[in-house]
Amino acid sequence: MGDSSLKKWRNLHSGDYHLSLDAETAKSWDRCYSQNIDPEKSTFESCTDTEFDIIKKNSTEIYAYTNRIIMALQEYLRNPHVGFALFDNNACLLKLYGSGQFLQWAEAKGITPKTIWREECAGTNAVSLGLELNKPLYFDGPDNFLKVLCDVVTYFTPFSLEDELNEGLLKKFGGVAIIGPDSEKDLDYLVTVISISKDVCMHLYLVVNTYHSISNPGLMHIDIEKAKNKMHILYHSSTIFDIFNITPVDLNFKNLQTIFDPYPQNKEFWEIIDSNRQVKNYNTKLSILGKENNYVLSSEPYKQSSLGFQGIKLVFESEERISSYVSRKIGNAQLTFSDIIGKNTNFIKTIYQAKRVALSDSNVLILGESGVGKDIFAQAIHNASSRKNKPFIALNCAAFPRDLIASELFGYEAGAFTGSKKGGNLGKFELANTGTIFLDEIGDMPLDLQAMLLRIIEQKSFMRLGSNTQIHVDVKIIAATNTDLIQKIKQRKFREDLYYRLSTIRLRIPALRERQDDIELLTNHFIKSISSRTNMPKLALSGEAMEMIKNLPWKGNVRELQNTIEGIFQLYPDTVILPCHIKEYLDIPEPNDLVISTAAPLAAAQAETNTENINGPAHKRQIEEALRINKYNITNTSSYLGVSRKTLYRWLKKYNLQ
Ligand SMILES: Nc1ncnc2c1ncn2[C@@H]1O[C@H](COP(=O)(O)OP(=O)(O)OP(=O)(O)O)[C@@H](O)[C@H]1O
């Protein structure tokens, strides 16, 4: 022990150390004195072997990275008298790295793995104080509270990250120190430990935050030693075992082939690894410990040339987990062909065509007026297809503000635009991968997005907003519209090439007025479903009332019919419905038999004008009621009333309801 160090240390203890030590160190000395820690104590406290096993297990994240980095740096630490020490977040010494000379010196001092450097065990030292203050610290020998450390110099830096979920809080993971005899001072050592810490923290950030924010997929970091043709698992998340459905085993620093079956199995996987290729959401079959399954794989090579460090980050998801995640978040297609009611010959033909469409993987364009059942057909097609257990994602292109559709469809990278979520966001195309995406009201899609959609269809890949990486997707597209797309093409509002790409198969759903023979069937179907839903088994409609319903124009098609039936039974639940009830509900004036006609149905435009003309103040009340029920949402209210948004706006203006 250096005499001058010991002398300085003794002087500090016998005098007023507040004058010589910096404020934080002096405060720590105060605490040590108040806890009656004996400065002369000659040994460190250590944890037991069992405790140390638990500590090591809890520290695998920092151990995996730091171990590798220190190993690579160690040979450049030219001074054989000093070495590295790795600590966990409770100041337990996990491992020492250095020359034989350094390790002998450390052992003689009692500085060995398992020793605890917390203040209450080892008095004030750079490790305890650095962890507490969360900052790099250099400690000269006499700054240490214990005599045994009075000639030991320490350069320490903690590993910490801001906790993204709890703003302001810090997650501490431990730290790294360079330790040696007091004679070996060199402030560059502090720079060395700071840069190690920065590197470790960057890795920890990737591991802890980036991927876990989305759906907690399986994450693996592979260390590639090209020269030795070795690929080791440097880090893996615990979810990997669930995803691969295997019993947890120790994979740290194990060769990749410990779980991935060797070539020629996993051909695609080995090719990606060998060529260090980046892929995003790549559907591939993997053979894990003899069990084959489908997975979605993303890979991202990385290289730290300065440290001679090269690896690849792999993210795995099983297809089942993605499907269940998506269904939980988005909800799946519920309806099947058995939910579609109709006996009209043309309508039956449409159902037949739709069933055939479901068997092919081509894109489908569903055409038809508002409320004819385009949505129900899209769901039924998905549920009758081979993709039925995969996601069904619906997006109404008209309901989204123009600038949000792009991020809804394609997702975005973290920080892609102001207000974007920290971890980025999956777009509908990524969520629908392997399943079906239903783009309702495609005619309202802005032109620039039409170009992007066309690219997805042609290349089966796309890029998230703010990213330049192609993401591969396998999605069946069902689009629907109630507008005349040919007309829109002529007006240059819809791309002709996209129209032909989307309409590989066109399905036209006839309007209700073209299948009057279905009205009775549908009416009875809706009465039955209201009865069972509301527990009102005796709902009844007179023959005349049914005749009247069959002859109304139903501009809003099945939706309008359904809403009317529901509305009438809500208003008159305890009576047999007669024509007078319907007239009252729809505000049809008695003498003017404009709408009730057994003759051919009125033309749609004429019907709308008529409804409007005959209704007057009652019509206004009906609109007010519809607005209230639909919480003043224009799209929902117009659907509820079975008219277009344009018509509703016109009515609002006319009745001064804006
Ligand atoms: N053939 C049918 N059998 C049973 N219910 C139907 C049928 N057609 C439509 N419906 C019902 O009518 C309502 C409107 O149908 P849907 O939403 O599928 O119409 P749409 O054509 O997609 O309308 P929009 O163009 O306004 O989006 C839904 O409640 C649906 O369940």
Query: Does the beta carbon of 340 sit less than 6 angstroms from any atom of ligand 1?
Result: yes
In SS3 terms, 465-506 reads as ECCCCEEECCCEEEEEECCCHHHHHHCCCCCHHHHHHHCCEE
| Confidence at residue 2, expressed as pLDDT on a 0 to 100 scale | 58
Task: Report whether pLDDT(598) > 60.
Answer: no
Structure tokens at 337: 């062909």
More confident position, 369 or 208: 369
CA 465 – CA 416 distance, rounded (Å): 6
Reported as a pLDDT band with limits 50, 70 and 90, residue 205 is: low
116 phi/psi in degrees, rounded to 5: -105, 125
Report which of 153, 149, 140, 136 is spatially closest to residue 193, judged by C-alpha positions: 136
Structure tokens at 431: 């969520």
The Å distance, Cα 555 to ligand 1 centre, comes to 13
CA 481 – CA 358 distance, rounded (Å): 19
Using CB atoms within 10 Å of the CB of residue 516, give its burial: 0 to 12 exposed, 13 to 18 middle, 19+ buried.
middle
DSSP code of residue 608: H
Reported as a pLDDT band with limits 50, 70 and 90, residue 408 is: confident
Report which of 160, 149, 104 is spatially closest to residue 125, judged by C-alpha positions: 149
pLDDT (average), residues 634-652: 75
Furthest CA-CA distance within the chain: 119
Which residue, by CA, sits nearest to atom 23 of ligand 1? 371
CB atoms within 10 A of CB 230: 11
Q: Length of the chain in residues, anyone? A: 658
ipTM over 0.90: yes
Query: Does the beta carbon of 111 sit less than 6 angstroms from any atom of ligand 1?
Result: no
More confident position, 199 or 537: 199
Nearest-atom index, ligand 1, CA of 370:
25
| Confidence at residue 320, expressed as pLDDT on a 0 to 100 scale | 64
Q: Is 383 helix (H, G, I), strand (E, B) or coil?
A: helix
Task: Report whether pLDDT(167) > 90.
Answer: no
Which residue, by CA, sits nearest to atom 5 of ligand 1? 340
Which residue, by CA, sits nearest to atom 25 of ligand 1? 370
Query: Does the beta carbon of 558 sit less than 6 angstroms from any atom of ligand 1?
Result: yes
pLDDT (average), residues 631-657: 76
More confident position, 599 or 208: 208
| Confidence at residue 216, expressed as pLDDT on a 0 to 100 scale | 57
What lies within 8 Å, CB to CB, of 190 at 6+ separation is 136, 138, 155, 157
| Confidence at residue 603, expressed as pLDDT on a 0 to 100 scale | 31
The Å distance, Cα 393 to ligand 1 centre, comes to 17
Nearest-atom index, ligand 1, CA of 639:
26
Query: Does the beta carbon of 372 sit less than 6 angstroms from any atom of ligand 1?
Result: yes
Query: Does the beta carbon of 126 sit less than 6 angstroms from any atom of ligand 1?
Result: no
The Å distance, Cα 28 to ligand 1 centre, comes to 73
Which residue, by CA, sits nearest to atom 28 of ligand 1? 559
What lies within 8 Å, CB to CB, of 40 at 6+ separation is 147
Query: Does the beta carbon of 482 sit less than 6 angstroms from any atom of ligand 1?
Result: yes
Nearest-atom index, ligand 1, CA of 366:
21
| Confidence at residue 238, expressed as pLDDT on a 0 to 100 scale | 76
Query: Does the beta carbon of 642 sit less than 6 angstroms from any atom of ligand 1?
Result: no
Query: Does the beta carbon of 341 sit less than 6 angstroms from any atom of ligand 1?
Result: yes
Task: Report whether pLDDT(1) > 50.
Answer: yes
The Å distance, Cα 367 to ligand 1 centre, comes to 13
The Å distance, Cα 375 to ligand 1 centre, comes to 6
Query: Does the beta carbon of 562 sit less than 6 angstroms from any atom of ligand 1?
Result: yes
Query: Does the beta carbon of 368 sit less than 6 angstroms from any atom of ligand 1?
Result: yes
List domains and CATH numbers for the chain.
3-209 (3.30.450.40), 214-320 (3.30.450.20), 330-510 (3.40.50.300), 513-654 (1.10.8.60)
User: Is the peptide bond prior to 264 cis by the omega test (within 30 degrees of 0)?
Assistant: yes
Summarised one tens digit per residue, pLDDT across range 531-587 is: 887 777 778 889 999 999 998 889 889 998 998 888 888 777 777 888 888 887 777
Summarised one tens digit per residue, pLDDT across range 340-372 is: 999 999 999 999 999 999 999 899 999 999 899
Task: Report whether pLDDT(634) > 50.
Answer: yes
pLDDT (average), residues 391-417: 71
CA 100 – CA 2 distance, rounded (Å): 21
| Confidence at residue 415, expressed as pLDDT on a 0 to 100 scale | 52
| Confidence at residue 239, expressed as pLDDT on a 0 to 100 scale | 80
DSSP code of residue 373: S
More confident position, 460 or 115: 115
DSSP code of residue 603: P
| Confidence at residue 631, expressed as pLDDT on a 0 to 100 scale | 72
| Confidence at residue 420, expressed as pLDDT on a 0 to 100 scale | 43
Query: Does the beta carbon of 373 sit less than 6 angstroms from any atom of ligand 1?
Result: yes
Query: Does the beta carbon of 150 sit less than 6 angstroms from any atom of ligand 1?
Result: no
% of the chain exceeding 90 in pLDDT: 41
CA 284 – CA 348 distance, rounded (Å): 39
The Å distance, Cα 637 to ligand 1 centre, comes to 15
What lies within 8 Å, CB to CB, of 229 at 6+ separation is none
| Confidence at residue 313, expressed as pLDDT on a 0 to 100 scale | 83
CA 223 – CA 256 distance, rounded (Å): 10
Terminal-residue alpha carbon distance, the chain: 89
Structure tokens at 519: 């009205």
| Confidence at residue 399, expressed as pLDDT on a 0 to 100 scale | 62
416 phi/psi in degrees, rounded to 5: -65, -35
pLDDT (average), residues 519-537: 86
Contacts 24+ apart (CB under 8 A), 26-34: 28/119, 28/124, 28/128, 28/129, 28/132, 28/145, 29/123, 29/124, 29/145, 31/119, 32/119, 32/123, 32/124, 32/145
Q: Is 320 helix (H, G, I), strand (E, B) or coil?
A: helix
Reported as a pLDDT band with limits 50, 70 and 90, residue 445 is: confident
Query: Does the beta carbon of 560 sit less than 6 angstroms from any atom of ligand 1?
Result: no
Summarised one tens digit per residue, pLDDT across range 64-107 is: 778 878 887 887 888 999 999 999 999 999 999 999 999 999 99
Nearest-atom index, ligand 1, CA of 509:
21
Nearest-atom index, ligand 1, CA of 396:
27
Using CB atoms within 10 Å of the CB of residue 311, give its burial: 0 to 12 exposed, 13 to 18 middle, 19+ buried.
buried
Query: Does the beta carbon of 174 sit less than 6 angstroms from any atom of ligand 1?
Result: no
The Å distance, Cα 380 to ligand 1 centre, comes to 12
Summarised one tens digit per residue, pLDDT across range 105-163 is: 999 999 999 999 999 999 999 999 999 999 999 999 999 999 999 999 999 999 887 65
Reported as a pLDDT band with limits 50, 70 and 90, residue 329 is: very low
DSSP symbols for 45-102: -B--HHHHHHHHHHTHHHHHHHHHHHHHHHTT---TT-EEEEE-TT-BEEEEES-HHH
| Confidence at residue 129, expressed as pLDDT on a 0 to 100 scale | 97
Which residue, by CA, sits nearest to atom 13 of ligand 1? 559
Summarised one tens digit per residue, pLDDT across range 10-31 is: 999 999 999 999 999 999 999 9
Report which of 173, 219, 217 is spatially closest to residue 199, judged by C-alpha positions: 173
Nearest-atom index, ligand 1, CA of 525:
4
| Confidence at residue 570, expressed as pLDDT on a 0 to 100 scale | 77
Report which of 500, 483, 479, 452 is spatially closest to residue 395, judged by C-alpha positions: 479
Task: Report whether pLDDT(425) > 70.
Answer: no
Task: Report whether pLDDT(601) > 70.
Answer: no
CA 481 – CA 483 distance, rounded (Å): 5
Nearest-atom index, ligand 1, CA of 335:
31
CA 626 – CA 563 distance, rounded (Å): 11
Nearest-atom index, ligand 1, CA of 347:
1
CB atoms within 10 A of CB 138: 17
Reported as a pLDDT band with limits 50, 70 and 90, residue 630 is: confident
Query: Does the beta carbon of 639 sit less than 6 angstroms from any atom of ligand 1?
Result: yes
pLDDT (average), residues 280-296: 85
| Confidence at residue 140, expressed as pLDDT on a 0 to 100 scale | 94
414 phi/psi in degrees, rounded to 5: -55, 135
DSSP code of residue 510: P
Query: Does the beta carbon of 502 sit less than 6 angstroms from any atom of ligand 1?
Result: no
The Å distance, Cα 331 to ligand 1 centre, comes to 18
Q: Are 327 and 93 in contact (CB under 8 A)?
A: no
CA 476 – CA 342 distance, rounded (Å): 26
| Confidence at residue 612, expressed as pLDDT on a 0 to 100 scale | 46
In sign, the C-alpha dihedral spanning 405, 411, 417, 419 is positive
| Confidence at residue 616, expressed as pLDDT on a 0 to 100 scale | 64
Task: Report whether pLDDT(609) > 50.
Answer: no
pLDDT (average), residues 576-601: 59
Report which of 143, 114, 142, 150 is spatially closest to residue 129, judged by C-alpha positions: 143
Query: Does the beta carbon of 510 sit less than 6 angstroms from any atom of ligand 1?
Result: no
